[in-house]
Amino acid sequence: MPTASGQACEQNRMSVAAQWSIRIVWGSLGLLLFLGALPHFRNGWTIDQALPVPSYMIAGRALPPSAYVHAAITLHAANHADGTSHIAGAEAALDSGAPGATQIGELESALTATPASVRGWLLLAQARQAAGDRRGAAQALSEALILAPYDYWVAEKRLLLATQLWSNLDPDSQDAAIRQVRLMWSEPKLHPQLLDFAGSREGAALTDRAFAGDRDDLIAINRLLSAARRQSSETP
């Protein structure tokens, strides 16, 4: 029969083994959590390295070409599941002067991960147009017009591209572009963009179309446009 001291030793060994088993389990869980978090940590670090370029692009503030080049290279290394960062990287590359055709694949891949990005669809439309693919550009622009019709940041850019691709846009997309023109008038914050747009030949034609049944609004827009032109000519 085992003695009392032998039983105590055996229980002690079992206790130590159990403690080590628990430590191994917790250590393994900790390692798994670390490995799972590592890509997110690296992705956050990558995005931080690209700042402030993404924020400046959204705000429409210009930066030196070297800043766009650095941001494009940095954001290209972001997690492939982070479509927003890759869209920003493609935009930085385009702003640096890279040919639009070189960014089509990057944007298509990024939009697979982030299909609701209006900015991504607009950039893809611009890249495809630059590559001579008007039909593909119109399809991408249609997505940008329909996804977020009240997105202030890209209102003028969408409309300028719409005037260039008008014959390739389907009727629903043309109607969405017309509504975008009317939005720029109903929202005072967008008046400067509307005046820039309406001041161009293509923009003037679309503005006339958008307000064909609202003579008073069209007169008011033309008055503002005339006043802006006078002020511009009088400014030394």
Answer whether residue 165 is part of any domain: yes
Q: What is the residue-level pLDDT of the chain in tens, covering all 236 positions?
A: 555 555 555 555 656 555 655 666 545 554 444 334 334 434 444 555 556 767 776 767 777 878 887 877 788 777 777 788 888 888 888 888 888 888 999 999 999 999 999 999 999 999 999 999 999 999 999 999 988 877 777 888 899 999 999 999 999 999 999 999 998 898 888 888 888 888 888 899 999 999 988 889 989 998 988 888 887 776 65
Residue 141, amino acid: L
Report cis status (omega within 30 of 0) of the bond before 236.
no
> Does residue 2 lie within any of the structural domains?
no
SS3 of 234, please? Answer: helix
Among 90, 97, 164, 152, CA closest to 123: 90
Note whether 208 and 157 are same-domain residues. yes
Tell me the residue range of the domain where 183 lies: 149-236
Q: Is residue 121 part of a domain?
A: no
37 and 107 belong to one structural domain: yes
Q: What is the pLDDT, as a whole number, of residue 137? A: 96
Domain membership of residue 5 (yes or no) is no
Residues 169 and 98 in one domain: no
Asked whether residue 171 is domain-assigned, the answer is: yes
Residue at a domain's end among 115, 141, 158: 115
**Tokens representing residue 82 in the block:** 């982070």
- Structure-block tokens of residue 55: 């924020």
Same domain, yes or no, for 111 and 157? no
CB atoms within 10 A of CB 145: 28
| Shared domain check, 40 and 105 | yes
Question: The tokens of 18 are what?
Answer: 């159990």
Residue 211 included in any domain: yes
Is 119 within 8 Å of 149 (Cβ atoms)? no
Q: Taking a C-beta distance cutoff of 8 angstroms, is the pair 114, 150 a contact? A: no
Structure tokens, 62: 């210009």
Q: Are 23 and 104 within one domain? A: yes
Number of domains in the chain: 2
108 & 158 share domain: no
The per-residue pLDDT for 25 is 54
Specify if 25 maps to a domain.
Answer: yes
Shared-domain flag, residues 101 and 186: no
Q: Are residues 108 and 176 in the same domain?
A: no
Residue 106: which of 92, 96, 97 has the closest Cα?
A: 92
Q: Which of 93, 115, 137 is where one domain is finished?
A: 115
For residue 135, tell me if it sits in a domain: no
Residues 153 and 102 in one domain: no
